Amino acid sequence: MSVNRDDLIIQMQEASAIVLEEKGYVSLVDVLMRMEKLTKADYDAWRFGRTPCLESVITVNLTKINHLFRAFQQHARAGGLRPSKTAYLSWGKGPKRQLRFSKSGAPIIEDAYAAHFLKPRVGG
């Protein structure tokens, strides 16, 4: 049974709160894994360069991913979290290469996927 967009948003908000508490920051990749829309095995395959792009192994269709993605960013900013660009480089032996998140590879999409949202600095 397919999950509707509203249910996905609720799951995303709950997963975001857990990840933020555990790590002190939140990323869409971590939230997708917490939501069980991205398996650890698929994530690892992507990190080792065995998967061409992360979107190809997420178990939600692209339309819902895009909706979830926008809602995730809005939720993070509404919560006072600050974005921080993060480089996702391949794991394993050999030269490290920048990993691709999206099928299109569009820079704006890649940058948005790579953002981590950090808790505000205390006292400053």
Domain ranges of the chain: 5-118
3-state secondary structure of 98: strand
Residue 123 clears pLDDT 90, i.e. is over it:
no
pLDDT, tens digit, 9 for 90 and up, residues 53-79: 999 999 998 899 889 989 999 999 999
Which residues are bridge partners to 26 per DSSP? 117
Average pLDDT, the chain: 92
Q: What is the pLDDT of residue 13?
A: 96
Are the C-beta atoms of residues 19 and 30 closer than 8 Å to each other?
yes
Percent of the chain scoring above 70 in pLDDT: 97
pTM of the model: 0.90
Angle at 87 between CA 86 and CA 92, to 5 degrees: 135
Going by C-beta distance under 8 Å and a sequence separation of 6 or more, which residues neighbour residue 78?
none
